[in-house]
């Protein structure tokens, strides 16, 4: 059990690792707590959540929208939620993002917390202060920057998480190791079997180091002006793959990270041995390292990337395992690497 404190512009966020959800009452007034819970999480863990008023959120990106937020506001009114309340999002990244946004905007901001139930939400979505919803087909277009006061992590939620969803989290853990913690990468190479079999002790260690990378980067750049771009490692190509194919986020980012590693190799900042190590570890987590057949659609999606400037694109590369750097690369260089990845 470990506590990490992160001091952001909008307040202090306390992250309690490896606790039990039943401890929630130690951190907030039980009679003022309201849970916003993912429907699947509620189905699997109803007993654990008993005793609190619950607002259910339907799963899926299509429900990460203003209509859901509107429904939550209505329930807040029914439940007399006010600034003395504590709203706790219990679910994956979607629930955390919606809850953070609803709580940040209701009455111009009421206290909120997260109990992340997916590995991705544990290591990524629950920290960093970004929240929001999709709008007219644009992901996360409407939102705020605001830290939760508390993140209570109970790893036992992961017991019911489908393996495919776990893989999304593993991809982000590998990303954090690659951009900011070389020893974590070495550790994952040794322990990936124990981690994939959900040994909670090992999970806590990995989550804690992974979070430290994200927090370290976010602390330097809360509102995404420079340093925070490093968190996009593997995501430029990853998002294009996700759009153009049926790959999940984690699968797409996995191939995106291999593409970025190969580009780094091409630029001479990463050795071939390290590229091979990265591919091997990703395969250990059952993540793909090669592109699906439709390469042209992916290149087309990349060419429309909103971060593109002329023929260049800001791209996160590696200077060895554990160190990221932001460079401008050309679409032609990217094409060359993608051709290699088929």
Cα–Cα distances (Å) from 261 to 62, 193, 266, 330, in that order, read 32, 23, 9, 16
The reply to whether 103 sits near ligand NAD by the rule CB under 6 A is: no
Q: By CB under 6 A, which span of 48-56, 160-168, 270-278, 308-316 interacts with ligand NAD?
A: 160-168
The reply to whether 40 sits near ligand NAD by the rule CB under 6 A is: yes
Per-residue DSSP letter, 121 = I
Of 19, 48, 130, 230, the residue at the interface with ligand NAD (CB under 6 A) is 130
Tell me the C-alpha distance between 318 and 233, whole Å.
9
Residues in contact with ligand NAD, total (CB under 6 A)? 28
The reply to whether 125 sits near ligand NAD by the rule CB under 6 A is: yes
- CB of residue 271 vs ligand NAD: minimum separation in angstroms? 30
Tell me the C-alpha distance between 76 and 284, whole Å.
44
Q: By CB under 6 A, which span of 158-166, 196-204, 239-247, 271-279 interacts with ligand NAD?
A: 158-166
Long-range residue pairs from 21-24, CB within 8 A, at least 24 positions apart, any chain: 21/45, 21/48, 21/49, 21/90, 21/115, 21/152, 21/154, 21/157, 22/48, 23/152, 24/88, 24/115, 24/152
Cα–Cα distances (Å) from 252 to 60, 85, 236, 240, in that order, read 18, 39, 10, 8
The reply to whether 94 sits near ligand NAD by the rule CB under 6 A is: yes
Of 18, 114, 124, 195, the residue at the interface with ligand NAD (CB under 6 A) is 124
Tell me, rounded to whole angstroms, the distance of Cα 261 from its chain centroid: 20
The reply to whether 131 sits near ligand NAD by the rule CB under 6 A is: yes
- CB of residue 164 vs ligand NAD: minimum separation in angstroms? 9
Closest CA to 218 of 176, 187, 278: 176
Q: Which is nearer to ligand NAD, 120 or 217 (CB)?
A: 120
The reply to whether 38 sits near ligand NAD by the rule CB under 6 A is: yes
Q: By CB under 6 A, which span of 88-96, 182-190, 253-261, 302-310 interacts with ligand NAD?
A: 88-96
């Amino acid at each position: 059990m470990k506590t990490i404190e992160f001091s952001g512009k909008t307040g202090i966020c306390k992250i309690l690792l490896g606790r039990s959800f039943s401890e929630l009452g130690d951190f907030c007034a039980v009679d003022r707590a309201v849970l916003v819970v993912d429907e699947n999480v509620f189905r699997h863990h109803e007993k654990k959540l008993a005793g609190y008023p619950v607002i259910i959120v339907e799963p899926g990106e299509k429900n990460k929208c203003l209509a859901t937020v509107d429904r939550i506001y209505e329930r807040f009114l029914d439940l007399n939620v006010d600034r003395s309340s504590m709203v706790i999002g219990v679910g994956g990244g979607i629930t955390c993002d919606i809850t953070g946004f609803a709580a940040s905007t209701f009455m111009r901001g009421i206290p909120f917390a997260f109990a992340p139930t997916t590995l991705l939400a544990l290591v990524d979505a629950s920290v960093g202060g970004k929240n929001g919803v999709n709008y007219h087909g644009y992901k996360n277009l409407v939102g705020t920057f605001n830290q939760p006061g508390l993140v209570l992590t109970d790893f036992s939620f992961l017991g019911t998480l489908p393996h495919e969803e776990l893989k999304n989290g593993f991809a982000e853990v590998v990303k954090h190791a690659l951009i900011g913690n070389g020893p974590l990468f070495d550790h994952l190479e040794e322990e990936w079997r124990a981690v994939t079999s959900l040994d909670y002790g090992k999970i806590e260690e990995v989550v804690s180091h992974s979070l430290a990378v994200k927090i370290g980067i976010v602390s330097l750049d809360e509102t995404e002006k420079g340093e925070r771009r490093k968190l996009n490692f593997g995501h430029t190509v990853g998002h294009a793959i996700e759009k153009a194919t049926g790959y999940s986020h984690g699968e797409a980012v996995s191939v995106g990270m291999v593409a970025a590693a190969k580009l780094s190799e091409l630029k001479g900042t990463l050795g071939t041995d390290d590229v091979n190590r990265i591919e091997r570890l990703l395969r250990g987590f059952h993540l793909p390292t090669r592109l699906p057949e439709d390469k042209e659609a992916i290149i087309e999606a990349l060419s429309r990337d909103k971060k593109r400037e002329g023929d260049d694109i800001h791209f996160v590369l590696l200077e060895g395992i554990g160190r990221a750097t932001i460079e401008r690369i050309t679409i032609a260089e990217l094409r060359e690497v993608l051709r290699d990845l088929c």
